[in-house]
A = this chain, B = another copy of it.
């Protein structure tokens, strides 16, 4: 039987990021033909793809963005930046290999292979990399049909942030904690997590960096908001941790003394309940997961919080693998049901693929300013 398909001879443009052995980052758009969909596959016309912080490691990660400039290339203009030599060694495996970028997106199915014919013409969200492109071929199982009336923008970010927001309370429960701390809490992800925790009755301590961010979260119903620009924030954090019993935190910042501050607050809260001095610190186990790198500097831990602690990396994909298909399926179903409410994303700017590699735009989204989020529309 022939695969049912229409109009698959098309080719489109795809965004590629290359780090050269000579020490350049090169961002360009090159022609790409997705090819015919095989059994169980579809071809999607991409209509929306968010630039997530988790895309930046691949997109621009090692480059010195102060050196961004445009040069002429064989396929049109190329955005170029220098990569400091000392960062090249860690990149050996990607040197001179063009990398496709973009963890997730949404669009309309324009062709389908055997068994996936029912998806033709449907609007879907997609997870799987290489989404900063005009045409994407992928397995139908990596797509989720959007609810009626949902736009591509609504469905473009239905995986990374929503599944991360659902995973944090899931980690909390599975590891025996009873409340959560989250930093950079006024981000798209942070506001989503706040809505999840309010709906599910999970006590959440939101840590933000300005009075405006604090007001935003309080306006969205958050009970515990700590503004680290306030002079009394350490005492306020300890109070919130003591009241909620939070012993696990998810930290988007990574560098500096943020994780250290969280561990001290947890230990101080535990010490309030203690009746006698313990030279090795409290027995209360304290966990910080670092899932982002808003501050790329080193993490500093003064260890003045006893021995019952752990700081580690958190990455979504291995966690989903660990909890297994059924648990992940339930999460995905919830995201689809609450796509335009709990899991709504907001964008401050929509750009074309070409604009996405414009030096000024690159610098803007690389600042990762809270609340500023860029959506690529490859049809523009």
Contacts and interface: CB of A to CB of B under 8 A. Distances in A.
Interface residues of A, number: 42
A298 B307 contact: no
8 contacts: A58-B279, A91-B277, A94-B279, A255-B303, A293-B303, A298-B300, A300-B300, A309-B313
Given A304-B90, A313-B306, A318 B277 contact: no
A58 B281 CA distance: 11
Contact of A299 (B90, B280, B300): B300
A370 interface: no
Contact of A57 (B91, B276, B279, B311): B279
Contacts of A318: 283, 308
A62 to B, nearest CB: 10
Nearest to A90: B304
Interface-central residue, A99, A278, A310, by most chain B CB under 10 Å: A310
Given A58-B279, A61-B279, A93-B276, 8 more contacts: A90-B304, A93-B274, A93-B278, A299-B301, A299-B302, A309-B313, A310-B312, A312-B312
Nearest to A275: B93
A271 interface: yes
A346 interface: no
Contact of A277 (B94, B290, B301): B94
Contact of A315 (B97, B280, B301, B304): B280
A107 interface: no
A94 B276 CA distance: 8
| Nearest 6 CB-CB pairings of A with B | A307-B313, A310-B312, A93-B277, A94-B277, A307-B315, A299-B301
Given A300-B299, A303-B290, A277 B314 contact: no
Interface string A257-282: 00010000000000100101111110
B277 A99 contact: yes
Nearest to A257: B298
A315 B306 CA distance: 9
A162 interface: no
A254 interface: yes
